[in-house]
Structure 1
Amino acid sequence: DALCSIVLCNDASLRSQPVIYNPDFFVEKLRHENPEVFTELMVSNITRLIDLPGVELAQLMGEVEPKLPGPNATATSFFKSLNFLKRKDKGVVFGAPLTEEGIAQIYQLIEYLHKNLRTEGLFRIPGNSNRLQILKDSLNSGIDIDVDSGEFHPNDVATLLKMFLGELPEPLLTHRHYHAHLKIA
């Protein structure tokens, strides 16, 4: 009573079409052709994986202002209270939002630290303040620095990297994604 059939197509025009086996192709295609749908789909999948409730999902989507941990703390009130700490002499790198140029400048420090990971107390022992100021000024002015020249110690570079991270206007793990980071951790 059951009828099974197999249809084979031997059309030469179909064989000339390239078959795309890379699933990332379709993801990139959707991301470029319809970014709103892509974002909605990604957030939907991420929230399903980390099980975020509605308010936290709205924060992730940017629909609601993020709330910081603590009683009645919001991102804007928190940053308004820290306005007096902001310096007027922001440079290209220090105290400025992350940019490709800033990351390129800092990356040379990261590469140097990677070569010197075995230095005792690398991130514990502070660097020399005079050398730190020279390094910081050079990075802010956009000058490429030869940290391998022997003029600087690995502790100088490690301290400068910590200073850079501390002076970012927004943390690397942003307030907007705070609850998502907690769920993942």
Structure 2
Amino acid sequence: MQPDLFGTRRNEPIAPDAMILRGIAADPAIHHEVLRIAEISPFRHMQTPGGKQIGVEMTNCGALGWISDRRGYRYEPEDPLTGKPWPPMPPSLQNLAETAAAEAGFPDFHPDACLINRYVPGIKMGLHQDRDEADLTAPIVSVSLGLPAIFQFGGPERRDPVARHTLHHGDVVVWGGVARLNWHGILTLRPGSHPLTGAARINLTFRRAG
């Protein structure tokens, strides 16, 4: 991790209690940690409770991992693919999440879960709320690596207007407080190649799940 994590700061408020921190997670070491995690708990396509395959490939690190299957959406301490605990959250990733949260106005954030999503061109994430966590007072910290993506961010009601924000490699979005249950998603990823991730976008979402 770079000694000066934020360097030249460029923070963009996008709603009350929601902010984009531009370029603060561009250190290649972050992606290297993702690769090490995926060696232990590989990326995989999970299924919705209705039996539909989720387009985004997923894995986790931390004390808890988010999973989806016929039994529903939830957090579990073990990877159902390996039958073992999820890989521990690397200290460098935890520090990144806590520092970004503090920069956005949430100084007491201590994540115990990190959902890692891998997008390829043609894949999207529909509008949704992150509400499977036991502690909804803690913010969400979302890190973008690789290909750029269009992030949709609405309000707490499904019918609220939705704004679009382009996220580039190293950008971090933090939302909590009154924005904690705002609807959000990713538009269909466009073709391209990134020097670090190739034809993919990696998204790390840090949460307080337990």
Higher strand proportion, which one?
A: 2
Question: Greater share of helix residues, 1 or 2?
Answer: 1
Q: Rg larger in 1 or in 2? A: 1
Relative to the length of structure 2, the TM-score reads 0.21
